[in-house]
Amino acid sequence: MNKNEINIGLIGFGTIGAGVVEIFNKNQDILSKKCGKPVNLKKVADLDITTDRGVEVKDGLLTTDVNDVLENDDIDIVIELVGGYEPAKTFILKAMENKKHVVSANKALIAKHWEELMETAEKNNVRFCFEASVGGGIPVLQPLNECLAANKFDSVYGIMNGTANYILTKMTEEGSAFEDVLKEAQEKGYAEADPTFDIEGHDTAQKLIVLTKLGFGEYVPQEKFYVEGITKVTPEDIEFAKNELNYVIKLLGIAKQTNRGLEIRVHPTFLPKKHLLASVNDVFNAIYIVGDFVGPVMLYGQGAGRMATASAVVGDCLDIVFNEDKRISYGPVDSQVNSIKNMNDVISKYYISLKALDKPGVLKNITEILNKNGISVESITQKTSSENEAVPIIIVTHETKEENIQKAIKTIDNSEYVEEESKIIRILE
């Protein structure tokens, strides 16, 4: 690295990239004084350098040739903000092979190609930093990996997707249907035109992969754990949680140690209102960590957005300047995980919502099916209706195995008195 000044190259001049440029426009003097030497944004590469990004761009900064960054001997640190798998992966690997440190916010790429990226960084004696990949502007990865390194972690819970959290918050506050709130979120720019990645839990899952590696020393690809989104959550579910149980519904990423292995899963969850995560609303994110010595710690803030994420990106660049020779082992050196717990073996309380014909003996048949599968019922709520009409039935169970619930629901749904597919939501005590 050039010892007289630090030069940074940026690949990707989209929303976050423009935020990085804005930070350098406003705070370059502060950054340079903090580092004790000039810190310069030297080049910004993007295929589109004509669209107005709403920030001032210095003459000579923009280029359409990515090699003006990757093969520029004056550039010490490369920021990758292209997103996706390719060409982002190729750019990162080439930068590392050219002995440049790399900063990225690309959780999808990191979650899928963790080992190759880490091995390439180590082989070329460069640093790879990615604080912005989880929690946007919230400092999460460095505290987990360094500040809390004296601990073994019992669990990590996260509300890690602003789109999903915004939708659930509005459904809770206004009683609106999922589809209506999703449309509103898209109009406000909180949800993409195709929101699948966010509302089906995949974004949360990728962030959970990174947290699991740092917290427990185990890389678990997404295909090895359960992922469910929020598309089936209704205002009726939220109302019951709020009024009958004093709970809220959140999309949680969960990784926790048990005596039967590590549980790792993503799904909507009934969360007690007294839990700290229950107060995290709108587009905000939070990570709740429990260590064996420090106890519970919650990190909270803006989990996405142009300036919050750009802040984390530039923070990683400064960390490299301060600690160029620091070699980081992400997560425990030795895995703390003996095995990955099968989802069927997860034990939880459950909320079950179904619609059954209002006939004598129907409720008795349902409870008999639950009993046969080893499921103890805590409460049953049934609404009245005209005879022969399907009525909502809400059941809250005591703790039981996921496998038992799935078998019982399959039997119930195959019966002649249930008119549509039943729904379950797991309850976190």
Last residue within a domain, chosen from 129, 156, 191: 129
Q: What is the pLDDT of residue 5?
A: 92
pLDDT 10s digits, 147-169: 999 999 999 999 999 999 999 99
Share of the chain above pLDDT 70, in %: 98
Same-domain pairing of 28 and 159? no
- Per the domain annotation, does 384 fall within a domain? yes
Examine residue 322 and state whether it is found in any structural domain, yes or no: no
Inform me whether the pLDDT recorded for 239 exceeds 60: yes
User: Does residue 63 sit in the same domain as residue 24?
Assistant: yes
Tens digit of pLDDT for each residue in 72-123?
999 999 999 999 999 999 999 999 999 999 999 999 999 999 999 999 999 9
Residue range 248-292, pLDDT digits in tens: 999 999 999 999 899 999 999 999 999 999 999 998 999 999 999
- Domain count across the chain: 3
Greatest CA separation for the chain: 84
Mean per-residue pLDDT for 15-25?
95
Identify whether residues 47 and 161 lie together within a single domain.
no
Residue 66 lies in a domain: yes
Token pair recorded at residue 164: 């999903």
* Residues 187 and 210 grouped into a single domain: yes
Contact (Cβ atoms closer than 8 angstroms) between residue 165 and residue 280: yes
Q: Decide: 119 and 92 in contact? Cβ < 8 Å.
A: no
- The alpha-carbon radius of gyration of the chain (Å, integer) is 24
Helix, strand, coil fractions of the chain, as percent rounded to 5: 40, 25, 35
Same domain membership, residue 148 and residue 118: no
CA-wise closest residue to 105 among 138, 81, 69: 81
What pairing do the DSSP bridges indicate for beta strands 6-11 and 77-80?
Answer: parallel
256 located within any domain: yes
Annotated active-site residue 207? The verdict is yes
Q: Is residue 332 part of a domain?
A: no
CA separation, residue 253 to residues 182, 199, 316 (Å): 21, 13, 24
Final residue of a structural domain among 251, 272, 303: 303
Is 120 found in the same domain as 161? no
Q: What's the confidence (pLDDT) of residue 237? A: 95
Confidence of residue 386 (pLDDT cuts 50, 70, 90): low
Claim to verify: residue 145 and residue 212 sit in the same structural domain: yes
Of 43, 170, 207, 250, the active-site residue reads: 207
**Model's pTM, two decimal places?**
0.91
Domain hosting 360: range is 347-427
Same structural domain for residues 99 and 158?
Answer: no
Give yes or no: residues 203 and 276 share one domain. yes
* Domain end call among 241, 273, 303: 303
340 domain-assigned: no
Query: What phi and psi, each to the nearest 5 degrees, are found at residue 35?
Result: -85, -15
> Considering the domain boundaries, does residue 237 fall inside one?
yes
| Residue of 103, 104, 102, 99 whose CA lies nearest to 125 | 99
**Which CATH number fits the domain that encloses residue 12?**
3.40.50.720
Same domain (yes/no): 124, 147: no
Same domain, 102 and 39: yes
Same domain? For 167 and 291 the reply is yes
Instruction: Write the CATH number for 190.
Output: 3.30.360.10
Which CATH number is 420's domain given? 3.30.70.260
**Which amino acid, 142?**
Q
Classify residue 339: in a domain, yes or no: no
